[in-house]
Amino acid sequence: MVVSNNSKIADNIKKYRNKLGISQGKLSKLSDVTDNTIIKIESGVNTNPTVETLSKIAKALGVDVDDLIK
């Protein structure tokens, strides 16, 4: 169940990032989250990102955390 949920989070982060036309590196800078963390979340290696991390990423993408986890 967690992997499925994280896959959804990864897909949503990629979707919103691509919609804005920004790279993982740019998202990292905008969200104050390390490149490595962004890469691990998007690739499914990090299956349990913290609420704080998701909040920073959501803010940088201009969406709510709910939009990332739906």
pLDDT, tens digit (0-9, with 9 covering 90-100), for 39-66: 999 998 997 899 999 999 999 999 999 9
How many structural domains compose the chain? 1
Q: What pLDDT digit, counting tens, does each position of 5-46 carry?
A: 668 999 999 999 999 999 999 999 999 999 999 999 999 899
**Looking at the whole model, is its pTM more than 0.85?**
yes
User: Please, how many CA atoms are within 13 Å of residue 52, restricted to the half-sphere of its CB?
Assistant: 4
pLDDT at 31 (0 to 100): 97
Tell me the torsion sign for CA atoms 48, 40, 6, 32: positive
Q: How far apart are CA 43 and CA 63, in angstroms?
A: 20
Q: 42, 10 in Cβ contact below 8 A?
A: yes
CATH number for the domain including 60?
A: 1.10.260.40
Domain span at 43:
2-69
